[in-house]
């Protein structure tokens, strides 16, 4: 060696002087034996090619330690082109080499990990992709690196953005992501994102390390376990555990909302007979078919569960304001279930009919617990069995009494139609000169025991069922027959007859056709026929009402608005209706002489009728004083006890003939 700087001592532990002079030690001898050949080959090659060389090799220091050296140098040539000397510098790169090795070592460790591990930069581009990621996702490192994680893997971009934001805010995010593989197959991954601050001084995040584990199998196992725990394997319906869970939640919700729902307990009637006669498999088939029909009988929000055996439960969500309306709704559901069971079931190669007994109880979070609700519904179900099966019973005796009364009334109405228990009476309508100008047909129901019922006692109930349509048809037919008979008699041919038409009947799609049929069958002149409509009808469906009224008017029928002033009909509505008459409700007439409010309402109605060109008739006129007050106020048509009660057809015809 000709010259060495003092720095060599820091690297080798030997002073520079040790390498120069007579007994100098060879620097090359410090080079690790394994690296010597490469150092000499690389140096010679560089010299041959007359270019500088860079070498890295290990040396053994004076203290016997290994260090990494990095040498850059070049040969110095004399004029003949021979190597005169080598010059350059040597640096200690031990620390750098260690870091490199560590990185290499870590990368190979990451590759050995089973999990997918990848790194992305702050713009979501993947910068590292381990073997686990290749295995899990299917892309190799070359394909994945440089791509955005969100584009490459993620199906749910909102979830991805949320994860990214949380990772930046909190340094870490752990959660599940829906992803897909290279072949497009879906993947449920449990991921952990860690933000790696590259520069500890600035703290600016530069990379996000993502570890991802495939939990698809765990998820599908969980789903299977959930199904086993909460669903009945035979019918696929929610099971008892699920029902208890939903019922508890429904009660909690109802305690907050104060709304009322219902719980229905169903048990098939004589199910054992099917098992005994056709075998268990047939029984199973029936249970499955019943489950499907029950599901179709309830609303989406309501729940059908199988408790076990042939027992089912329907939970009607608490959605009603009162116990009464909830009971009414439950009754509709129960009736639907009974009807759904009516058609026989196809089981393998035979048809089978089954009925069900249903117990119903109302549920409200303020009053009930899961246990009490189930017990009550169960008790009510046994009452339904005791009552002969194929029916339903309410747990609450009051409710049961009301329901029984209603259902008795309903079957009574059916019988009345069949057995001709209805009759029409006619209350005369007179003009200012006390001449009879017509009548209002009033419905009466004569019970088999001779008792007479008035419409207020049964029409509302009839309106809640389709019975009103049949009753209305009978009323119209009978009234038209009567009117036709008046029209055949010269003394009564000028009379008009008012018939009450219920809203429910008027909106029936075939109401006009049915009316035409009756007109034709009875041969009545429709000009004598007046339909009395209520305000409710007008308000409910104005456009359709006007259309139907106009069609009927073209046939000659006229219209009166009944109960005028009691409802909500506005002037705007009134003006557009093709009316002929306004009727002052009897409730205003009662106190018209003493109550200033009633008097002023009646005066307004009369004035309104006048300005719209409508005839105004007052009903409920009972005294001469009322009649005189009315005529002074400008109303000249009257109906009421002052003249006559409602008379039988025969009576009326005689009465009218004498007063025309």
Ligand X SMILES: Nc1nc2c(ncn2[C@@H]2O[C@H](COP(=O)(O)OP(=O)(O)OP(=O)(O)O)[C@@H](O)[C@H]2O)c(=O)[nH]1
Site residues, ligand X (CB under 6 A): 234, 267-272, 275, 280, 283-284, 287, 309-310, 385, 389
Question: Could you please report the per-residue DSSP string of 1-69?
Answer: -----TTHHHHHSS-GGGGSSTTPPPGGGGB-HHHHHHHHHHHHHHHHTT--EEEEEEEE-TTS-EEEE
Q: For residue 185, count other CB atoms closer than 10 A to its CB.
A: 10
User: Residue 201 — φ and ψ, nearest 5°?
Assistant: -65, -50
What lies within 8 Å, CB to CB, of 80 at 6+ separation is: none
Task: Report the distance separating Cα 241 and Cα 305, nearest Å.
Answer: 10
Residue 260, classified by CB atoms within 10 Å of its CB into exposed (0-12), middle (13-18) or buried (19+), is buried
Task: Pinpoint the alpha helices (H) of 145-215.
Answer: 149-152, 157-170
CB of 315 to ligand X, least distance (A): 20
CB of 336 to ligand X, least distance (A): 20
Query: Which CB, 279 or 556, lies closer to ligand X?
Result: 279
Query: Which CB, 340 or 657, lies closer to ligand X?
Result: 340
CB of 360 to ligand X, least distance (A): 17
CB of 126 to ligand X, least distance (A): 54
Angle separating helix axes 240-257 and 216-230, nearest 10 degrees? 80
Residue 594, classified by CB atoms within 10 Å of its CB into exposed (0-12), middle (13-18) or buried (19+), is exposed
CB of 340 to ligand X, least distance (A): 18
Cα angle, residue 336 at apex, residues 334 and 337 outer, rounded to 5°: 65
Query: Which CB, 90 or 287, lies closer to ligand X?
Result: 287
Q: Where are the beta strands (DSSP E) in 229-324?
A: 260-268, 303-308, 311-320
Strand, coil or helix: 659: coil
CB of 259 to ligand X, least distance (A): 32
Task: Report the distance separating Cα 65 and Cα 538, nearest Å.
Answer: 107
Residue nearest to ligand X (CB): 283
Task: Of 495, 497, 486, 493, give the one whose Cα is nearest residue 440.
Answer: 497
Query: Which CB, 310 or 440, lies closer to ligand X?
Result: 310
CB of 581 to ligand X, least distance (A): 59
CB of 314 to ligand X, least distance (A): 17
Query: Which CB, 136 or 290, lies closer to ligand X?
Result: 290
Query: Which CB, 177 or 287, lies closer to ligand X?
Result: 287
Return the HEC string of 538-592. HHHCHHHHHHHHHHHHHHCCEEEEEEECCCCCCHHHHHHCCCCEEEECHHHHCCC
Query: Which CB, 11 or 234, lies closer to ligand X?
Result: 234
Cα angle, residue 351 at apex, residues 345 and 357 outer, rounded to 5°: 45
Task: Of 9, 4, 40, give the one whose Cα is nearest residue 21.
Answer: 4
Query: Which CB, 27 or 312, lies closer to ligand X?
Result: 312
Structure tokens at 158: 């909102």
CB of 267 to ligand X, least distance (A): 5
Q: Residue 180 gets which letter from DSSP? A: E
Query: Which CB, 355 or 551, lies closer to ligand X?
Result: 355
Query: Which CB, 284 or 470, lies closer to ligand X?
Result: 284
CB of 274 to ligand X, least distance (A): 8
Torsion of CA 186, 187, 192, 195, to 10 degrees: -30
Query: Which CB, 280 or 488, lies closer to ligand X?
Result: 280
Q: Which element (helix H / strand E) includes 137?
A: helix 131-137
């Amino acid at each position: 060696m000709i010259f060495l700087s003092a720095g060599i001592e820091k690297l080798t532990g030997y002073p520079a002087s040790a390498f120069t002079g007579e007994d100098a030690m060879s620097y090359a001898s410090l080079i690790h034996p394994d690296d010597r050949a490469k150092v000499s080959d690389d140096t010679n090659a560089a010299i041959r090619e007359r270019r500088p060389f860079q070498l890295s090799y290990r040396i053994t220091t004076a203290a016997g330690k290994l260090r990494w050296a990095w040498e850059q140098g070049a040969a110095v040539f004399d004029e003949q082109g021979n190597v005169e000397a080598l010059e350059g510098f040597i640096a200690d790169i031990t620390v750098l080499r260690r870091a490199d090795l560590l990185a290499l070592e870590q990368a190979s460790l990451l590759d050995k990990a089973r999990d997918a591990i990848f790194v992305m930069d702050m713009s979501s581009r993947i910068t590292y992709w381990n073997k686990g990621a290749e295995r899990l996702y299917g892309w190799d490192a070359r394909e994945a690196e440089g791509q955005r994680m969100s584009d490459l893997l993620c199906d749910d971009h909102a979830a991805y953005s949320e994860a990214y934001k949380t990772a930046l805010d909190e340094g870490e995010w752990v959660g599940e992501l829906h992803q897909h593989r290279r072949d497009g197959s879906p993947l449920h991954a449990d991921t952990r994102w860690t933000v790696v601050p590259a520069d500890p001084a600035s703290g600016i995040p530069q990379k996000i390390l993502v570890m991802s584990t495939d939990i698809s199998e765990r998820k599908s196992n969980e789903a299977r376990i959930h199904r086993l725990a909460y669903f009945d394997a035979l019918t696929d319906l929610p099971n008892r555990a699920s029902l208890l869970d939903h019922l508890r939640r429904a009660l909690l919700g109802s305690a907050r909302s104060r709304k009322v729902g219902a719980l229905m307990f169903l048990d098939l009637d004589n199910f054992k007979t099917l098992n005994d006669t056709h075998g268990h498999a047939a029984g199973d088939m029936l249970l499955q078919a019943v489950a499907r029909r029950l599901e179709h009988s309830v609303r989406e929000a309501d729940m059908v569960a199988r408790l076990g055996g042939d027992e089912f439960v329907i939970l009607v969500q608490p959605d009603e304001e009162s116990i009464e309306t909830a009971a009414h709704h439950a009754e509709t559901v129960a009736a639907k279930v009974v009807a759904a069971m009516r058609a026989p079931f196809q089981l393998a190669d035979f048809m089978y009919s089954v009925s069900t007994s249903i117990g119903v109880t109302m549920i409200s979070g303020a009053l009930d617990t899961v246990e009490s609700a189930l017990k009550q519904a169960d008790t009510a179900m046994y009452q339904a069995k005791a009552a002969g099966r194929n029916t339903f019973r309410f747990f609450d005796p009051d409710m049961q009494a009301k329901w029984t009364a209603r259902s008795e009334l309903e079957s009574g109405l059916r019988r009345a139609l069949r057995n001709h228990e209805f009759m029409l009476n006619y209350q005369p309508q007179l003009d200012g000169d006390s001449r009879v100008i017509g009548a209002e047909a009033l419905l009466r129901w004569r019970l088999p025991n001779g008792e007479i019922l008035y419409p207020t006692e049964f029409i509302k109930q009839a309106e809640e069922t389709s019975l009103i349509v049949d009753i209305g048809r009978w009323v119209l037919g009978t009234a038209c027959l009567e009117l036709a008979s008046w029209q055949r008699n010269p003394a009564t041919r000028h009379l008009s007859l008012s018939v009450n038409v219920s809203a429910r009947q008027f909106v029936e799609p075939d109401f006009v056709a049915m009316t035409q049929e009756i007109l034709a069958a009875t041969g009545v002149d429709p000009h004598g026929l007046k339909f009395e409509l209520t305000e409710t009808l007008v308000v409910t469906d104005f456009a359709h009402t006007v259309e139907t009224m106009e069609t009927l008017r073209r046939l000659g029928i006229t219209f009166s608005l009944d109960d005028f002033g009691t409802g909500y009909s506005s002037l705007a509505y009134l003006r557009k209706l093709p009316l002929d008459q306004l009727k002052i409700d009897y409730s205003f007439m009662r106190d018209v002489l003493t109550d200033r409010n009633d008097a002023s309402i009646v005066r307004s109605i009369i004035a309104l009728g006048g300005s719209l060109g409508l005839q105004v008739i007052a009903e409920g006129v009972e005294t001469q004083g009322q009649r005189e007050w009315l005529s002074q106020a400008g109303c000249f048509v009257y109906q009421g006890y002052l003249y006559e009660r409602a008379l039988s057809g025969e009576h009326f015809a005689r009465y009218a003939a004498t007063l025309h």
